[in-house]
Structure 1
Amino acid sequence: MTPPLGDIAHIGHAQLFSPDLDASVAFFTDYVGLTVSGREGDTVYLRTFDDYEHHSLVLTARDRPGLGRLALRTSSEEGLHRRIKAVEAAGGSGKWVEDEPGIGRLYLTTDPDGHEHALYWESEYYRAPDELRPALKNQPQAKPNRGVGVRRLDHVNFLAADVLANAEFQERVLGARPTEQIQLNSGKIAARWLTFTDKSYDVVYTSDWTGSTGRLHHIAFATDTREEILRAADLAIDSGVFIETGPHKHAIQQTFFLYVYEPGGNRVELCNPLTRLVLAPDWPLITWTEAERAKGQAWGLKTIESFHTHGTPPVA
């Protein structure tokens, strides 16, 4: 059993591709409440107010939406090299790059589905400019006075052609712990939730109904309270943001959620999972059946059809 804190310390940041970069930046700053921390050509770096690093999200202009890299910070330089050895021992490969501000060298590799993962250790602590300096010295940045004002990047949900193979990559190669899963009547694993920390999940793999590889289901940002999810829904209808489903509560992981689409076409979840932690070092993997999932979400709401079919980049 991997200990609660292994060689991967936490999710660092995620990269999204957008065919409408300016509109996506406006969505994440004005509606979600992120702060722009840098720009380089067709790439914009943004941060949540409680992130200690330079950026939490990278937006890059592309013809089609989708996920670029997921960056994972290791708990030490030694841990980074242990994970690289594990990648290579499993038959994988990678390369070194140094192409992001505030971050040292990143080791790029992929999961079996082709999603790019960047592993790194070296990172600069964010220093807020005077206009963003917080009153409390143990907070990296003042809370935003606009939008939802999310606290952190919470998790990434990948779409995958083979959920089990990719989940086992996270477990055996990167050291994640599985916490919950969906198993179909056929025995196939349709989804699995995994964690690197004492959070109940950091990454998720969900079966891609198209059989495609390398696609994104959603990225998620955490709020302090459930009430902020309700406020996010009100802000969405006031500002023309498309709500796909919610506010509601998931049965799996018990996350209170709101799903919206950003202008580039990517699904974004605003969530409040902060009350639930997995502290047991021997936490048993919880399995949900088809019959149990057919009951819908926690309070009986049926899952909307697009939740199973929409992913980025889109397929014909």
Structure 2
Amino acid sequence: MLPKTQLNPPFNITRASHVSLTVTDLGASRDFYRDVIGLVVTEETADTVYFRGLEESVHHSLTLYKTDGAPLADQVGFRVQTDDDIDRAAAYFASIGIEHRRVDKPYQGPTLQFVDPVGTHIELTSSMDVVERKMQNYNEFKAGAPQRIDHFQIVTHDVQKATDFYHTLGYRLSEYTAKDNTDELWGTWMEVKGNTHDLVFTNGRGPRLHHFAYTVPDASALIHAADVAGAYGLGHEIDRGPGRHGISNALFLYVRDPDQHRIELFNTHYQFIDLETPPIRWDVSNPKRAQLWGMPASARWFFEASEFADQPVEEPLLAATPDTLEQYLQLH
């Protein structure tokens, strides 16, 4: 069932903002995101590395923490408009029984962490320290030259529950997948900033972080990122692409880091601003929804993702058997 957008949410979320991961080899992961992906290292300590995109004026959009345990997704971050929105978020979550806590995070203003109804670990902040934009420092563009963080995709056991919750917070449905001429939700693409998505939920074992995504300047940047990965001997870590999604119409490249966290580089989102524009429906049987050029993704793209700490993974309510690249090659 399609949810109704809340035009007067309890607090104001403005965009996808930042993500944090734990990694087993901080040096190797730093080198990957700096040299293979092309992010800017803002700051580095013995146990933490902060990155940002070339266009970004905030201190970080990706944080890596050294761990002696398993590599995990830590927090998925969104910006709210003002400090008052942090207070309003805390009051709202208390009123509906959502687990939450205020935390002090370096380089961030007031910050609130909560666990959403499907188990995703979410962090809200109202501000960050301001640093230099490098979007015209073309001499510093490396690999894919990521410009800014754009969105997150979460694998969840209950797409409907996740979608209903975020619509109460002001997210708006731009595209969705369903089956057999129904509106039973298998995947939802939701936005708050006016392009096709800030947050995606897809059906599967969850909660797990499927990927986080950065914009790149153009199609040639995707090709160059793939070339750089190959030159470093990491062609096998290209998880999918280059290709073009049917959903969102974006060109894409997915790459796995040394701990198998997945990052997407992409471009060419369209605007989704006017309220009278209906969401686009894709049937789950249509392979063009995920790959407009026709080739399916590998099994690991469908079934592997990063778990959250101390968060049980649940089996999906909807049983799916996606067509994979391996199956396609066997048939052809």
* TM-score computed with the length of structure 1 as normaliser: 0.86
Q: Which amino acid aligns with 1:10?
A: R
Alignment match, 2:90 = 84
Structure 1 Cα separation of the partners of residues 47 and 207 of structure 2: 22
Counterpart amino acid of residue 65 in structure 1: P
1:189 equivalent in alignment to 2:185? yes
Q: Paired residue for 2:22?
A: 17
* CA offsets 1:44-101 (integer angstroms, 9 cap, x no match): 111111111110100112322332111211112333333333323332131111122x
Say if 2:223 is the partner of 1:218.
no
Q: Distance in 2 between matches of 1:184 and 1:24?
A: 39
Match of 1:68 among 71, 74, 84: 74
Task: Provide the C-alpha distance between the structure 2 equivalents of 1:15 and 1:67, rounded to a whole number of angstroms.
Answer: 7
User: Contact 2:15–2:192 at 8 Å: present in 1 too?
Assistant: yes
Unaligned runs of 5+ in 2: 314-332
What is the aligned partner in structure 1 of residue 196 from structure 2? 200
- Is the alpha carbon distance of 1:106 and 1:266 closer, same or farther for their aligned partners in structure 2, counting shifts above 3 Å? same
- Which residue matches 1:240? 233
Aligned equivalent of 1:157, options 145, 153, 158: 153
Aligned-partner SS, 1:291: coil
Q: Secondary structure at the match of 2:249?
A: coil
Question: Superposition pairs for residues 257-276 of structure 1, below 5 Å?
Answer: 257-274=252-269, 276=270
Say which SS state the counterpart of residue 72 (structure 1) adopts: strand
CA offset digits 1:137-158 (Å, max 9, x no partner):
xx5x734243221101111111
CA distance in 1, matches of 2:153, 2:20: 13
5 Å-filtered alignment, 1:1-316, equals 1-2=5-6, 7-62=12-67, 63-100=69-106, 102-126=107-131, 128=132, 142-143=137-138, 144-172=140-168, 174-185=169-180, 188-208=184-204, 211=205, 213-241=206-234, 242-274=237-269, 276-293=270-287, 297-313=291-307
Find the residue that maps to 2:291 and give its secondary structure. coil
- State the distance in 2 between where 1:176 and 1:267 align: 24
Distance (Å, rounded) in 2 between the aligned partners of 1:92 and 1:117: 12
CA offset at residue 296 of structure 1?
A: 5.9
Assess, with a 3 A threshold, how the Cα gap between structure 1 residues 3 and 188 changes in structure 2: closer, same or farther.
closer
CA shift in 2, pair 1:287/1:240, >3 Å: same
Cα distance change on mapping 1:122 and 1:299 into 2, 3 Å: closer
Name the amino acid aligned to 1:71: G
The DSSP-based 3-state class of the residue aligned with 1:227 is: helix
1:86/1:286 CA distance change after superposition, 3 Å: farther
SS for the counterpart of 1:279 is coil
Distance (whole Å) between structure 1 residues aligned to residue 161 and residue 118 of structure 2? 8
Partners of 1:17 and 1:188 in 2: CA distance: 34
Whether the aligned pair in 2 keeps the contact of 1:7 and 1:80 (CA below 8 Å) is: no
Q: Is contact 1:23-1:264 (8 Å) kept?
A: no
**TM-align CA RMSD:** 2.4
Distance in 2 of aligned mates of 1:10 and 1:235: 30
Q: Does structure 2 retain, via aligned residues, the 8 Å contact 1:9–1:72? A: yes
Q: Which runs of 5+ in 1 are unaligned?
A: none
Distance 2:167 2:290 in 1: 28
